[in-house]
Amino acid sequence: MEVLVAHHGYCFDGATTAAIFTRFLRETAPGLARAEYSYKGLLYEPNAPPPGDKLRAGAVNAVLDYRYTTSPLLEWYFDHHVSAFQEKGSEAHFRADASGKKFHDGAYGSCTKLLIDVARERFGWTAPDLDELVRWSDIIDAARFPDADVASSFDPPAMAIAAVISEQGDDHLCGQIIPLLATKPLAAVAAHPLIAQRLGPIKLRHDALAKRMGESGEQRGDVAWFDLSDAPLDTVAKFVGYKLFPSAQYSVVLSRNPKRVKISVGFNPWAKRPRGHNVAALCERYGGGGHPVVGAISLPPHEMARARTAVDEIIAALNA
Ligand SMILES: [Mn+2]
């Protein structure tokens, strides 16, 4: 029997949810202890096909930390994205499900925490050796860092692993990292050559990006705004903007790579005033999505003009 684990790619929460789900299924599902588990990353890309298209007949299929699908092939589902129900009729389909294997809760900061809570409460399954993994995934996915410096550090093992997954993750690499996350302490995973050998160049690119953001950034009202569209962006630095503009309530970053133009929108986790806007709802207006505090819009690479219009409108909306 094969188990196909389709997870949000390529981010720490998607990978850790896949790792814990693997343990959960191996240790609770009859006949799946020795099954072959394969991993497929699902991206929030422009015109991304419904995840049901990626599922395989004859396998046990799971979709984790990603949009719901009405596909009859879907057996297990866990997600916490408030934008999970984009496929037509999908929310009603989910509500009507009686399998007891499909779970969504938009109040969760990470899918990892949703999974571990559901596994304990509904299935009586626990894995205390994974506590550290759960704790870090919840910190990283919900941006619950004490400050922008910690948020930009690669020193904690989880942060090093998260950086490698988000910057160089693909199905081949995640297919090797996920089984490690499922069975080894974070420090051991971070010390593994898969992570350690990739981290040096990532740090260098991160420092270069921080410099570029310092040069191009400006604050418009409550919004720190970074136009990084002049050259392709090959790395991400989600929190550097708030290091540069600590008084900003929100940040907006325009970037591009050969595959897409991206607008990233976020609420400053260390803002002194409460959040007045739902970032996911704002991104949905332009076909994007995410969470109340962080979201993104991806457009085809030739739509830079439309992206710039959207950026102006989003900054105006966040200042309203
Ligand atoms: Mn997540």
pLDDT at 252 exceeding the cut of 80: yes
Quick one: which of 22, 269, 42 has its CA closest to 133? Answer: 22
DSSP-derived 3-state class of residue 19:
helix
CA of 183 from ligand 1 middle (Å) equals: 20
Relative to beta strand 260-267, strand 294-299 is antiparallel
Amino acid 46: pLDDT = 64
Cβ neighbour number for residue 288 with a 10 Å cutoff: 23
Percent of the chain topping pLDDT 70: 100
Q: Where are the alpha helices (DSSP H) in 39-191?
A: 90-95, 111-123, 131-141, 148-151, 157-168, 171-183, 186-191
CA of 100 from ligand 1 middle (Å) equals: 21
CA of 94 from ligand 1 middle (Å) equals: 19
What backbone torsions phi and psi does residue 254 show, to the nearest 5 degrees? -105, 125
Amino acid 235: pLDDT = 72
Amino acid 150: pLDDT = 86
Amino acid 303: pLDDT = 96
Q: Whose structure tokens read 């984009």?
A: 86
Instruction: Lay out the sheet containing 250-257: strands in order across.
Output: 218-220, 223-227, 250-257, 260-267, 294-299, 289-290
CA of 12 from ligand 1 middle (Å) equals: 8
Sequence-ordered list of residues with C-beta below 8 angstroms from that of 131, at least 6 positions apart, any chain: none
Q: Where are the alpha helices (DSSP H) in the chain?
A: 12-28, 90-95, 111-123, 131-141, 148-151, 157-168, 171-183, 186-191, 193-216, 240-244, 279-284, 304-319
Domain boundaries, the chain: 2-194, 217-319
Average pLDDT over residues 62-79: 97
For the domain spanning 2-194, the CATH number is 3.90.1640
CA of 136 from ligand 1 middle (Å) equals: 12
Half-sphere exposure of 251 (CA within 13 A, CB side): 27
CA of 305 from ligand 1 middle (Å) equals: 30
Tokens found for residue 176? 């090797």
- Count, residues in the chain: 320
Amino acid 320: pLDDT = 94
Options 3.10.310, 1.10.3470, 1.10.3430, 1.10.3210; CATH of 217-319: 3.10.310
Q: Whose structure tokens read 């970037």?
A: 255
Amino acid 276: pLDDT = 95
CA of 281 from ligand 1 middle (Å) equals: 17
Nearest-10 Cα torsion for 107, 160, 225, 295: -30
Write down the mean pLDDT value for the chain.
95
pLDDT-derived band at 86, boundaries 50, 70, 90: confident
Average pLDDT over residues 307-311: 98
CA of 7 from ligand 1 middle (Å) equals: 10
Average pLDDT over residues 114-132: 98
Say if CB 290 and CB 279 are below 8 A apart: yes
Amino acid 45: pLDDT = 72
CA of 239 from ligand 1 middle (Å) equals: 17
CA of 288 from ligand 1 middle (Å) equals: 15
CA of 81 from ligand 1 middle (Å) equals: 7
pLDDT-derived band at 87, boundaries 50, 70, 90: confident
pLDDT-derived band at 236, boundaries 50, 70, 90: confident
CA of 137 from ligand 1 middle (Å) equals: 9
CA of 77 from ligand 1 middle (Å) equals: 13
